[in-house]
């Protein structure tokens, strides 16, 4: 098969992607029965067919992106970022809600009739932009004033537009940018300033929102209630979390068996936010640990690609788009296990949802692009950055 001959990049990452994609069909088919049989929307076969199409399109996106030399992502990020900002503004004002979301997070594409969550695209593009910024200043002294306008104003604009609709995504994106900034050699004293400015901006946003906007007041009340309910452990106010805990507790060592989950009939978000609980209930502790191992293996392979990269931009790009996948997986599993308040973050490649899967595939494709491009280059012809991680570590120190 010619397509297999043209597949390049880290084989370990390809293997994890294929395994997670194949594994996703069983819990998806099982969990979707809640929507089909309990709620009465659609059919399990229909949801399975839709998921198959999403995975297929995700593979196509991954394949196409991994064939693009990673250097093209640097310049394109500056062109795409303003367009993404306009998309986020439009989503905030004209977007729709899906699956019980308390704010507009999606825009509908009329031609193909699908909904698209713009914040996931914004995350990938923003990390490309931040990686570009630091790679172009690797040999320069970074001044706070210059970095504030060229780096933090675009970052802040994107995050502040995402924040009203999706606090967890905004927070995850801010954390990812901070981590990438530290690796990119941004002075720690400046990072402290940025965190302080971010905290003040959040407080002002909450104050203004609660004072002048009913919609934002309701949204901030949701954030507050989630934190309070998590602390108080009140079963009457944490319905989904309690059902997820029951699912995990009854899974035992080897689980009830594929398709035999009971709690999927009571969890409204059984195929998305809480699919990990369904996996553990059906596959037991062994299955849950297996899923965790796959994500940790993906994290390790991402680190290997970043370590082998021969330019600072390649290293930062891999970390910037790759690590958030693992962060998101950890958050999702922590919520299902009641270790964190409910956030609404899906489990990458396993939860339902086209946009999340597609953006994960694009991010993995970018990582594979770095791996594939670097493997085709004679190391003796690349003397600009022989040890990029060492350069980054020295900059941080």
Q: For the segment 258-307, what is each residue's pLDDT rounded down to a tens digit?
A: 888 888 887 777 777 889 999 999 999 999 999 999 999 999 999 999 99
Q: Where are the alpha helices (DSSP H) in the chain?
A: 2-5, 11-23, 25-31, 33, 44-66, 72-94, 118-135, 144-147, 153-162, 167-183, 188-212, 214-232, 239-251, 275-308, 312-336, 354-375, 388-396
Alpha-carbon gap, residue 361 to 55, rounded angstroms: 9
With contact defined as beta carbons under 8 Å apart, do 121 and 85 qualify?
no
Structure tokens given for 261: 């989950």
Q: For the segment 350-376, what is each residue's pLDDT rounded down to a tens digit?
A: 988 778 899 999 999 999 999 998 766
| Confidence bin at 395 (pLDDT 50/70/90) | very low
385 pLDDT above the threshold of 50: no
Instruction: List beta partners, residue 108.
Output: 115
Q: For the segment 225-235, what is each residue's pLDDT rounded down to a tens digit?
A: 777 766 665 55
Comparing CA positions, the residue from 201, 179, 203 lying closest to residue 191 is 179
Predicted local distance difference test score (pLDDT) of residue 103: 47
**Contacts of 252 by beta carbon, 8 Å cutoff, 6+ apart:** 284, 285
With contact defined as beta carbons under 8 Å apart, do 17 and 368 qualify?
no
To the nearest whole percent, how much of the chain has pLDDT over 90? Answer: 44
User: For residue 179, what are the CA distances in angstroms to 204, 260, 293, 300?
Assistant: 24, 41, 23, 17
**Rounded average pLDDT over 131-151:** 89
Instruction: List beta partners, residue 109.
Output: 114
Alpha-carbon gap, residue 184 to 182, rounded angstroms: 5
CA 235 to chain centre: 29
Alpha-carbon gap, residue 35 to 102, rounded angstroms: 19
SS (H, E, C) 67-102: CCCCCHHHHHHHHHHHHHHHHHHHHHHHCECCCCCC
Predicted local distance difference test score (pLDDT) of residue 123: 92
Predicted local distance difference test score (pLDDT) of residue 96: 58
Per-range mean pLDDT, top range of 11-15, 50-54, 107-111, 219-223: 11-15
387 pLDDT above the threshold of 50: no
Alpha-carbon gap, residue 287 to 293, rounded angstroms: 10
Dump the DSSP string for 280-297: HHHHHHHHHHHHHHHHHH
320 pLDDT above the threshold of 80: yes
107 pLDDT above the threshold of 80: no
Look at residue 150 and give its three-state secondary structure. Answer: helix
- Per the model's pLDDT, the better-predicted residue between 324 and 391 turns out to be 324
Look at residue 107 and give its three-state secondary structure. Answer: strand
Angle (CA) 222-239-360 rounded to 5° is 70
**Contacts of 211 by beta carbon, 8 Å cutoff, 6+ apart:** none
Residue-averaged pLDDT of the chain? 83
Alpha-carbon gap, residue 306 to 21, rounded angstroms: 23
With contact defined as beta carbons under 8 Å apart, do 284 and 250 qualify?
no
């Amino acid at each position: 098969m010619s397509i297999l001959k043209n597949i390049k990049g880290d084989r370990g990452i390809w293997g994890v992607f294929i395994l997670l994609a194949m594994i996703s069909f069983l819990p998806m088919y099982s969990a979707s029965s809640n929507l089909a049989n309990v709620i009465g929307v659609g059919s399990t076969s229909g949801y399975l067919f839709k998921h198959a199409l999403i995975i297929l399109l995700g593979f196509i996106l991954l394949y196409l992106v991994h064939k693009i030399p990673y250097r093209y992502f640097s310049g394109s990020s500056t062109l795409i970022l303003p367009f993404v900002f306009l998309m986020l503004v439009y989503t905030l004002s004209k977007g729709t809600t899906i699956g019980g979301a308390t704010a507009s997070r999606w825009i509908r594409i009329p031609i193909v009739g699908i909904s698209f969550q713009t914040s996931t695209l914004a995350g990938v593009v923003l990390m490309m932009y931040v990686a570009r910024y630091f790679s172009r200043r690797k040999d320069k002294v970074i001044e706070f004033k210059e970095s504030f306008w060229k780096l933090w104003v675009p970052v802040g604009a994107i995050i502040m537009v995402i924040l009203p609709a999706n606090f967890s995504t905004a927070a995850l994106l801010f954390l990812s940018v901070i981590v990438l900034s530290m690796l990119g050699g941004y002075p720690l004293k400046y990072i402290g300033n940025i965190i302080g400015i971010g905290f003040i901006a959040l407080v002002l946003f909450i104050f203004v929102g609660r004072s002048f906007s009913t919609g934002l007041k309701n949204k901030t009340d949701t954030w507050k209630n989630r934190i309070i309910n998590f602390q108080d452990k009140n079963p009457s106010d944490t319905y989904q979390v309690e059902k997820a805990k029951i699912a995990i507790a009854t899974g035992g060592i080897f689980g009830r068996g594929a398709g035999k989950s009971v709690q999927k009939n009571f969890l409204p978000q059984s195929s998305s936010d809480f699919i990990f609980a369904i996996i553990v209930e059906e596959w037991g502790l062994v299955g849950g640990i297996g899923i965790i191992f796959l994500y940790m293996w993906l994290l390790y392979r991402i680190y290997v690609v970043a370590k082998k990269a021969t330019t600072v931009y390649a290293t930062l790009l891999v970390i910037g788009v790759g690590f958030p996948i693992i962060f998101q997986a950890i958050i999702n599993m922590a919520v299902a296990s009641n270790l964190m308040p409910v956030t609404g973050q899906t489990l990458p490649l396993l939860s339902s949802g086209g946009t999340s899967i597609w953006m994960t595939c694009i991010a993995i494709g970018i990582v594979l692009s770095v791996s594939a491009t670097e493997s085709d280059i004679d190391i003796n012809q690349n003397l600009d950055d022989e040890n990029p991680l060492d350069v980054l570590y020295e900059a941080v120190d």
